Amino acid sequence: MNCGKFIVIEGLDGSGKGTQISLLAGELSRRKIPFQLTAEPTQYATGGLIRDALAGLTKRTPAEMAALFLADRTAHCENPVDGIGKLLSDGVNVICDRYYYSSLAYQGMDVGFEWLMPANLDCPAIIRPDLCVFLDVPTEVADGRIAAGRNSREIYETRDAIARVREKYFEVFGILPEGHKIKIIDASREPSAVAKDVWEAVWEVLG
Ligand code: TYD
């Protein structure tokens, strides 16, 4: 049986990830390529705990947040009904909105890489993506888009946090071990121009 490809879309809050994922889904549908969209935090119980913490409803320590994302990711990979591993082995391509690159960038601001990296990258249950597309926007663009689209901000959406997360993503991309395919795309342009580059990167992996 064919194995699907696992593609992750990453970016700052306000990078236009949602728009680009919709455009990518449209293109895959038009071409009748089998795919499933998914996201982290997930819709599982662990995802609910994380969302409460992101909204500031529950207070969690940085290590707890890192561990919750790790547990959520493990469930996401291993769920026997709709987990990433199951979809891939059924020949379905998986497009995931955020994955462990988010943990390394966001939780990496507060907890040490010395355990965060192996916990995510070396856990046998956690599947390595075939491609990570990083939608890059300057901090001011991300901040402006968040301000325009929301009434309240989550814990990682302050202007200061956004700038630090962007730096952290680039730090992570610089130290990842061999075997990670990262495509950085300038997402401050027109959505259609960004979508064209996203499609090119995805097609290279699917084709
Ligand atoms: P979400 O509501 O999905 O935001 P967005 O639509 O902008 O992606 O919330 C995801 C938030 O969780 C976002 O601020 C990034 C953060 N996050 C982490 O801190 N670590 C992780 O491992 C993941 C997957 C997300």
pLDDT at position 150 is: 77
Beta carbon of 35 within 6 Å of any ligand 1 atom: no
Domain 6-206 class, CATH top level: alpha beta
**Using a 6 Å cutoff on CB, does residue 106 contact ligand 1?**
yes
Nearest partner of 156 among 46, 60, 67, 20, judged by Cα: 60
Task: State residue 157's pLDDT score.
Answer: 85
Nearest Cα residue to atom 1 of ligand 1: 41
Cα 2 to ligand 1 centre (Å): 31
Give how far the C-alpha of residue 106 lies from the chain's centroid of Cα atoms, to the nearest Å. Answer: 11
pLDDT value at residue 115: 97
CB of 46 within 6 A of ligand 1: the answer is: no
H helix intervals, the chain:
17-30, 45-54, 62-78, 84-89, 100-106, 113-121, 139-149, 159-175, 191-206
> What pLDDT, on a 0 to 100 scale, did the predictor assign at position 1?
52
List the chain domain ranges: 6-206
C-beta of 15 in contact with ligand 1 (< 6 A): no
**Dist. CA 83–CA 181, nearest whole Å:** 22
CB 136, CB 198: distance < 8 Å = no
Q: Tell me, what's the pLDDT at 2?
A: 60
Give the list of residues 6+ apart from residue 151 with CB closer than 8 angstroms, or none.
none
- Best mutation site among 54, 104, 153 for ligand 1, i.e. most ligand atoms within 8 A of its Cβ? 54
The best mutation among 102, 109, 120 to test binding of ligand 1, ranked by most ligand atoms within 8 Å of the C-beta, falls on: 102
- Is ligand 1 within 6 A of the CB of residue 73? no
> How far does residue 14's CA lie from ligand 1's centre (Å)?
11
Alpha carbon dihedral 99, 116, 81, 9, in 10-degree steps, equals: 10
Q: Classify residue 177 by its DSSP letter.
A: P
Could you tell me which residues come within 8 angstroms of residue 168 by beta carbon, excluding any fewer than 6 positions away? 104, 105, 106, 108, 109
Distance CA 134, CA 131 (A): 10
Going from the first residue of the chain to its last (207 residues), give the mean pLDDT of each consecutive group of 10, the final group possibly shorter.
Answer: 89 95 98 98 98 96 98 98 97 98 97 97 98 96 87 84 96 96 97 98 96
pLDDT recorded at residue 149: 83
Q: Nearest C-alpha to atom 17 of ligand 1 is from which residue?
A: 102
13 lines ligand 1 (CB under 6 A): yes
- C-alpha 157 – ligand 1 centre gap (Å): 10
pTM, rounded to two decimals: 0.96
Q: Is the CB of 69 under 6 A from ligand 1?
A: yes
- pLDDT given at position 207: 84
Distance CA 171, CA 175 (A): 7
